Amino acid sequence: MKVAAVQMVSGPDVQTNLRQAAALIAQAAECGAELVALPEYFCLMGHRDRDKLAAAESTTPVANGPIQAALSGWARQHGIWLIGGTLPLRIEGDAGRVHNSCLVFDPQGRLAARYDKIHLFRFDDGERRYDEAATLQAGTAGPVAFDCIDRAGTHLRVGLSVCYDLRFPELYRALMHPPCDLLVVPAAFTHPTGEAHWELLLRARAVENQCHVLAPAQGGLHENGRRTWGQSMVVGPWGQVLAQQAQGEGVVLATVDLARQRELRQRLPALEHRRL
């Protein structure tokens, strides 16, 4: 299956971000991608953290709001599996915080999976301070994976995670019961943490799980002054970077080679050797 990671430099206007996402998704679909993933906060990088609260949508009854409607429509229009990066979803009874949620839509535009980010980022180096818990509530569900089928009838098991989750390998180990074929990590890594650890961690997650990794990211200088690392990429199960984009908007394409993955797992059956 050909997969695509969309890289964006989102700003504070939701409609502008949606138009940019639509164009990049169309580009990926035209290049043959059957599964497309958007970055974390693709719909909004606000001037203030609390801007998420105003943009938050409801999932009652289902897919209620312009962002979710756009995701569903794009998936249906292009006949693709669409992993909607993240968007803020309201929490019943809590007006001061939202979930940072990754929604998946199937080629018919139906909601296929939801994962609420469970690890919330906090960073303070004396100059820059950031605490997601000020406006986000961590998800409480266990690992979330879904099964998709490409146009040739090939089945692919896909595990979901978001950004800061990448630093917690136990989440990915849990996603390997049963083993996934693809791990997806939509992100908005800060420039200093991304420069130090982004590629290192993505390749480690691929190697230790003998799995493909798809990592769409925010990448550039945003209107709010925040600078994200970018470097969206696809990593193969042997840890090799299959495709990558440094900064700016773009689409990263690669093929999930299940035959190669099976060969590696048979040659070095590390997943079968786990004892913890």
Confidence check: pLDDT of 63 > 80: no
Site of tokens 């249906």: 76
For 103-144, write each residue's pLDDT tens digit: 999 999 999 999 999 999 988 877 777 899 999 999 998 899
pLDDT at 276: 83
Confidence check: pLDDT of 65 > 90: yes
Confidence check: pLDDT of 64 > 80: no
For 12-62, write each residue's pLDDT tens digit: 999 999 999 999 999 999 999 999 999 999 999 999 999 999 999 998 766
pLDDT at 36: 98
Active site residues: 40, 117, 163
Contacts for 100 with CB less than 8 Å, ≥ 6 apart: 40, 41, 86, 88, 116, 117, 132, 136, 162
- Return the structure tokens found at 232: 């969206």
Which structural domain range is residue 245 located in?
2-273
pLDDT at 142: 83
Domain count, the chain: 1
Name the pLDDT band for 271 (thresholds 50, 70, 90). Answer: very high
Say if residue 61 is preceded by a cis peptide, omega within 30 of 0.
yes
Name the pLDDT band for 162 (thresholds 50, 70, 90). Answer: very high
> Which contiguous run of DSSP H or E holds residue 16?
helix 14-30
Burial grade of 11 (CB within 10 A; 0-12, 13-18, 19 or more): middle
State the average pLDDT over residues 82-111: 96
pLDDT at 126: 78
Confidence check: pLDDT of 96 > 90: yes
State the average pLDDT over residues 88-117: 96
pTM: predicted TM-score of the whole model, two decimal places: 0.96
Please tell me which residue, 140 or 182, carries the higher pLDDT value. 182
| Domain CATH for 257 | 3.60.110.10
For 205-256, write each residue's pLDDT tens digit: 999 999 999 999 999 999 999 999 999 999 999 999 999 999 999 999 999 9
pLDDT at 61: 67
Pairing, β 87-91 against β 250-255: unpaired
